[in-house]
Copies of this chain bind each other. A is one copy, B any other.
């Protein structure tokens, strides 16, 4: 059955949101088109009315979720603390798409890689802007280094089965990043 233009736009949005959560939770390969559509409250048939392929869905989902990902707007220390928390580690589906998906993007289409590139660029800028006390060169270095450590720590913490070590990876990285952004210029 046909639906209103407005309804269609909402459906499209629901598909992207559902895909975003499912991809972060289970990975691109482990999620079927039908599963995404079902999670969006539709059936698999209408999929190709919205997207030209699963690869297209992946690319558009990435652009969608990376644009929405508003990182360190306020206090950087608080952002780092919540990013490197057990709560975030355990919340893949609702968590940072970079931590959840970056490693898989190597195997995706150019459009997906391009979306990731823009996402990374703006994230580095956002973190840099939260470090106004540093001079520009140190600021960029601190932003990139901190972000790499944050993403790496969450990926490592999620990969292992020892909860104590996983917690420790998060907490030590948090302390390490905190120390780093307090005293960059002394290198």
What is A's interface to B at a CB cutoff of 8 Å?
26-27, 29-30, 92, 98, 100, 102-107, 110, 113-114, 116-117, 120-121, 140-142, 144-153, 155-156, 158-162, 165, 168-169, 172-173, 175-180, 182-184, 186-187
| Chain A facing B: main interface SS | helix
CB pair B183 A186 closer than 8 Å: yes
Instruction: Known A-B contacts: A120-B165, A140-B172, A145-B173. Give 4 more (CB < 8 A).
Output: A113-B161, A121-B165, A141-B176, A182-B187
CA distance A145 to B156 in the complex (A): 11
* Chain B residues whose C-beta falls within 8 Å of the C-beta of A26 in the assembled complex: 107
What is the minimal beta-carbon distance from A100 to any residue of chain B, in angstroms? Answer: 8
* Chain B residues whose C-beta falls within 8 Å of the C-beta of A178 in the assembled complex: 187
